[in-house]
A and B are shown apart, each in its own frame.
Chain A
Amino acid sequence: MATVKVNQLHLDDLPWIVEYDEAKCIQCGKCVATCSFKAIKPAIEQRKVSGSITEKNKIEKRIVIKQNISFSEYCRGCGMCTRVCPNGALKITKNNDSRLSVRYRAEKGESIKKGGRSNLNTEGRTLDKIKVGRISQMTDPSLDAVRHTFELKTPLGRVLSADKLNFEIKNDEIISNTKLPPNRWIYPIIIGDMSIGAVSWRMWEAMAIATAYLNEVMGIPVRMCTGEGGIPSKLLKSKYVKYMILQIASGHFGWNRIIDAMPDMVEDPAGILIKIGQGAKPGDGGMLMANKVAKYIQEIRGVPKADLLSPPNHQGLYSIEESVQKMFLSMNAAFNFKVPVAIKVAASATSVSVYNNLLRDPYNIVGGFFLDGLAAGTGAAYEISLNHTGHPITSKLRDCYLAAVHQGRQGEIPIFAGGGLGQTGSFAADAFKLICLGANGVFTGRLLLEIAGCIGNDLDKCNACNTGLCPAGIASQDICLTKRLDIDKVAQNLVNFFIATDFELRKLMAATGCSSLPIGRSDALITVDKNVADRLDIQYVC
């Protein structure tokens, strides 16, 4: 009987199996060179060369490609090797028997970190159970998506109810001598907050270029949120900062540089977003592992090369009221009350309480409520958070909107919803449905990464953003890996995506007879799922 070391990590424990077809391999070595995870390696295998029984066994040595069996250098299923192989000699297969997550904890005594997205999709997508079912025919003319004009803009900023605008009437005209909270009219899709650090500077730059192009050339007023990682000084001091929403989170990363640049800024930013939580890992702060803290990241953030872990909470904030008084007031004051200050929270059973408190804030200084659902993306998180914490966006958005309706205050703090939008390929439809359910707009990050070439999915493929070894050069600061990303091509694809999405939004607006955003028009939606209908207060159909 042979000896077997059963406690040793084995190929069968790994999540992905690399199948190698020696007959097709020309030993060019591209697969090994391209694998950022060092999951495969060249190896020498001994083979018995066939001969007669009496003949002594002839052993031949062959160069083959083998999979590494390691807790760190293992295949993530990204498939880059299959992309570079000229002959299709490699094939990646998911191993349904994988025990790596259990073995890792047992071996290392620590929790698993991952990036990307949740990979335990047991919920199903509510948005896919909803259809746009109120089509304008005869009752009111349906519109033509190509020929009619549509208004796809929504305010970002605190909206006061009409009776609080303190308007005065002079010569039959309304005049106003009251300083009112700042409002910005923006496109209802915001490029979600992904920091320089979480994504490569090339990815970030591509998004910034796309944002500027969409605004300056296409006339689509898309805004981009910086994420918690600062913003390059040159951009900060340029006119293009007006398209950027600056994020401040519990780590306050990058804010020294922002404050230093303030005297030289020629434009106000589009807004400030105070991140309290995020949908992918509610209750956790930002997490940037040291291997992604490149020199320029250190400069922008003003930090040493170390794991950058933002605290779960903003230090010193212990209640909603206090946060309003301290943080929102300070951020408003910092930009002379000219820039909307919004909040981003993870969707949670408590979201309505938070939203209600903000709505009732007597200072009227909260200018947006970004609600992030559990299918959202992240650069790095503990797997336990990614897979087991969070709240779907759809019902929580609806709850918040209806809470505002209950008080007659809908629209006063615009709601932007995000988290897994476009997951099944129909981003415009997701956005339209959420707007009908009460969102002023939506935000997306992860989807844009997928447009840029991210090959991760919700079935555990890749999701290694935390390692800094992103094979697409998107979530990495490695100079070789990031070179894989063609900035101009990514920017172009992002612009194209927005143009296509813009058209698709118009298509849905046209069919439902809306020439402006159907915020709260839940009568346009139907569902064949009675539970969804009851929960969201939309029409049940069968």
Chain B
Amino acid sequence: MCRIGAIKSKRYIHPSMALKLMRSQQEGHDDSGFAFVMQDLGGIFETYKDLPCLSMAATVQGTRLAEDILHDIGFSRVLQWSPEVNHQKGLKISPMPNYIFEVLQYPKSHKYATKEEKEELLIDTCLKIRKTLEENNSGYIYSFWPDILTLKEIGSPKDIGTYFNLWNDKEGPYAKIITAQCRQNTNYDIVRYAAHPFVLEGYTVLANGENTFYEKNKLYQQGLYKGYVGFESDSQCFLYTLHYVNKILKWPLKYFMHVINPLSYDSINQRKDKDILLRIKASLEHLETNGPNAVLAVTPDGKLLCVCDPKKLRPVAIGRNEDTVIMTSEVAGINDILPHRDIRKDIYPKEREMVVINNDLTVERWQQ
């Protein structure tokens, strides 16, 4: 079972907080990896929020191939951050030769491009780099999007933290939203791409759960949008459905839960909006997940959300104080990070409930 966590704060926070959040939940995962996504970046990245940030891990050859692609398209590097890696012996980690985190300027051809045109360029570039790296077995591109930084690695989360010097909160990077997972193993294979959180065009998703309808989801999503690729984990389908519902169809967030966990026909029939919900149920039947799951997600505008399956078979808890909200699998994690919070304000989402944390940390709860 996965252990997942998300921290959203009014102030910039350090990845060490995510590491600490996940350590106390160690009994719930298999200590096989650590991955995090940072959004709404601070520190040295703070002044470049509108420019795309590339997150990659690659061999020397892969790094060169990616740089060539970016150069050919016309991107130019604005900022590069390299984590100071710690090569001490005995660390349980399978590191890649290079970790690339860099902010790039759009090509001159896109100087006057619309937001949509720029986004199109980013996804196309990302897919091109991914394909090239895969063909050459020379690395992984995790995200290429403004204001997002992603790191995934195989090994013990504690040692991964040590390797990347992430326990030292005096040095960046920082962000206002950090999502993390402490598990690399999946039902399928140990592949870096299979580690949550998954990112696509500003949407980030982590799931503790199973997608029983993975096969159907995958077959349907493959034809929906060019960015729906990989499928190394059945949980990627949650990300693609969120993206499809919210970005492509432009439906409000709460309809995400109506797609992945549709109500039964009889329940829908009792509702005023039955005509709409039945249409959604029929049209997006192949995006139902039909498994136990607790999904955490971040939207491009910084909202943090949590959706629970119809039977509430996977745990999730939400704790908060004035400037920080934490959503995670076990309340033990929250206790470590926010020990002095008012626990009366803790939220334990129920089955078929969606909780949304807005940017001012106000909480919205929707019962399906």
Chain A contact residues, CB within 8 Å of chain B:
136, 139-141, 149, 151, 153, 155, 159-163, 165, 167, 169, 172-176, 180, 183, 185, 405-408, 410-411, 512-516, 518-523
- For the A-B complex, the count of residue pairs with Cβ-Cβ distances under 8 Å equals 100
Give Cα distance in the complex from A185 to B273, angstroms.
Answer: 16
Contact (Cβ within 8 A) A408 B220: yes
B284 cross-chain contacts in A, Cβ below 8 A: 162
Query: Nearest B residue to A157 by beta-carbon distance?
Result: B282
Tell whether A410 pairs with B251 under 8 Å between CB atoms, given A140-B291, A521-B215: no
A180 cross-chain contacts in B, Cβ below 8 A: 279
Contact (Cβ within 8 A) B249 A172: no
B352 to chain A: closest CB distance in Å?
13
Contact (Cβ within 8 A) A516 B283: no
Chain B contact residues, CB within 8 Å of chain A:
187, 210, 212-216, 219-220, 222-224, 244, 248-252, 254-255, 262, 264-265, 273, 275-276, 278-280, 282-286, 288, 290-292, 310, 313
Contact (Cβ within 8 A) A172 B276: no
B252 cross-chain contacts in A, Cβ below 8 A: 169, 172-174
Which of A140, A515, A519 is B285 in contact with, Cβ under 8 Å?
A: A519
Which of A141, A167, A410 is B292 in contact with, Cβ under 8 Å?
A: A141
Contact (Cβ within 8 A) A159 B278: no
Contact (Cβ within 8 A) A140 B282: no
Other than A513-B290, A513-B291, give 9 A-B pairs with Cβ distance below 8 A. A169-B251, A183-B282, A406-B223, A410-B219, A513-B212, A515-B290, A516-B290, A520-B219, A523-B215
Contact (Cβ within 8 A) A155 B282: yes
Contact (Cβ within 8 A) A163 B249: yes
Give Cα distance in the complex from A411 to B282, angstroms.
Answer: 8
Contact (Cβ within 8 A) A174 B286: no
A410 cross-chain contacts in B, Cβ below 8 A: 219-220, 286
Tell whether A167 pairs with B276 under 8 Å between CB atoms, given A162-B249, A408-B220, A523-B214: yes
Contact (Cβ within 8 A) A159 B283: yes
Give Cα distance in the complex from A174 to B216, angstroms.
Answer: 25
Give Cα distance in the complex from A165 to B255, angstroms.
Answer: 14
B220 cross-chain contacts in A, Cβ below 8 A: 405, 408, 410
Contact (Cβ within 8 A) B215 A522: yes
A409 to chain B: closest CB distance in Å?
8
Contact (Cβ within 8 A) A161 B291: no
Contact (Cβ within 8 A) B255 A174: yes
A268 to chain B: closest CB distance in Å?
16
Which of A149, A167, A408 is B223 in contact with, Cβ under 8 Å?
A: A408
Give Cα distance in the complex from A163 to B264, angstroms.
Answer: 22
Which of B248, B283, B292 is A140 in contact with, Cβ under 8 Å?
A: B292
Contact (Cβ within 8 A) A520 B215: yes
B236 to chain A: closest CB distance in Å?
16
Query: Nearest A residue to B277 by beta-carbon distance?
Result: A174
Give Cα distance in the complex from A169 to B199, angstroms.
Answer: 26
Query: Which DSSP category, helix, strand, loop or mixed, fits chain B's interface?
Result: loop
Which of A139, A153, A169 is B187 in contact with, Cβ under 8 Å?
A: A139
- A-B residue pairs in contact (CB < 8 Å), sample of 5: A151-B264, A159-B282, A169-B250, A519-B286, A522-B215
Contact (Cβ within 8 A) B276 A176: yes
Which of B222, B223, B288, B292 is A516 in contact with, Cβ under 8 Å?
A: B288
A149 cross-chain contacts in B, Cβ below 8 A: 264
Contact (Cβ within 8 A) A408 B224: yes
Give Cα distance in the complex from A518 to B262, angstroms.
Answer: 14
Give Cα distance in the complex from A153 to B269, angstroms.
Answer: 13
Which of A155, A174, A185 is B276 in contact with, Cβ under 8 Å?
A: A174
A185 cross-chain contacts in B, Cβ below 8 A: 265, 278
B213 cross-chain contacts in A, Cβ below 8 A: 514, 518, 521
A481 to chain B: closest CB distance in Å?
42
A167 cross-chain contacts in B, Cβ below 8 A: 249, 251, 276
Give Cα distance in the complex from A151 to B266, angstroms.
Answer: 9
Contact (Cβ within 8 A) B219 A139: no
Query: Nearest B residue to A407 by beta-carbon distance?
Result: B223
Contact (Cβ within 8 A) A520 B216: yes
A407 cross-chain contacts in B, Cβ below 8 A: 223
Residue of B273, B291, B310 with most partner-chain A CB within 10 A? B291
Give Cα distance in the complex from A518 to B288, angstroms.
Answer: 10
A176 cross-chain contacts in B, Cβ below 8 A: 275-276, 279
A405 cross-chain contacts in B, Cβ below 8 A: 219-220, 223
Give Cα distance in the complex from A159 to B280, angstroms.
Answer: 10
Give Cα distance in the complex from A508 to B122, angstroms.
Answer: 45
Tell whether A165 pairs with B250 under 8 Å between CB atoms, given A140-B212, A410-B219: no
A6 to chain B: closest CB distance in Å?
64
B248 cross-chain contacts in A, Cβ below 8 A: 163
B119 to chain A: closest CB distance in Å?
18
Contact (Cβ within 8 A) A173 B273: yes
B342 to chain A: closest CB distance in Å?
29
B248 to chain A: closest CB distance in Å?
7
Query: Nearest A residue to B259 by beta-carbon distance?
Result: A162
Query: Nearest B residue to A406 by beta-carbon distance?
Result: B223
Contact (Cβ within 8 A) A183 B249: no
Give Cα distance in the complex from A152 to B235, angstroms.
Answer: 25
Give Cα distance in the complex from A511 to B222, angstroms.
Answer: 27
A469 to chain B: closest CB distance in Å?
44
A520 cross-chain contacts in B, Cβ below 8 A: 215-216, 219, 286
Give Cα distance in the complex from A523 to B219, angstroms.
Answer: 11
Give Cα distance in the complex from A169 to B291, angstroms.
Answer: 29
A394 to chain B: closest CB distance in Å?
18
A514 cross-chain contacts in B, Cβ below 8 A: 212-213, 290
Give Cα distance in the complex from A180 to B280, angstroms.
Answer: 12
Contact (Cβ within 8 A) A153 B219: no
A374 to chain B: closest CB distance in Å?
28
B223 cross-chain contacts in A, Cβ below 8 A: 405-408
Tell whether A175 pairs with B212 under 8 Å between CB atoms, given A151-B265, A408-B220, A411-B282: no
Contact (Cβ within 8 A) A139 B251: no
A136 cross-chain contacts in B, Cβ below 8 A: 212
B280 cross-chain contacts in A, Cβ below 8 A: 162, 174
Give Cα distance in the complex from A523 to B213, angstroms.
Answer: 9
Contact (Cβ within 8 A) A519 B216: yes
B20 to chain A: closest CB distance in Å?
29
Give Cα distance in the complex from A151 to B249, angstroms.
Answer: 26
Contact (Cβ within 8 A) A183 B278: yes
Give Cα distance in the complex from A160 to B283, angstroms.
Answer: 6
B27 to chain A: closest CB distance in Å?
17
Which of A140, A174, A522 is B251 in contact with, Cβ under 8 Å?
A: A174
Query: Nearest B residue to A153 by beta-carbon distance?
Result: B265
Of all A-B residue pairs in the complex, the 8 with the closest CB atoms, nearest first, are A408-B223, A140-B210, A523-B215, A155-B282, A162-B283, A159-B282, A172-B252, A513-B212
B275 to chain A: closest CB distance in Å?
7
Residue of B249, B262, B310 with most partner-chain A CB within 10 A? B249
A512 cross-chain contacts in B, Cβ below 8 A: 212
Tell whether A411 pairs with B285 under 8 Å between CB atoms, given A174-B255, A515-B290: yes
Contact (Cβ within 8 A) A165 B264: no
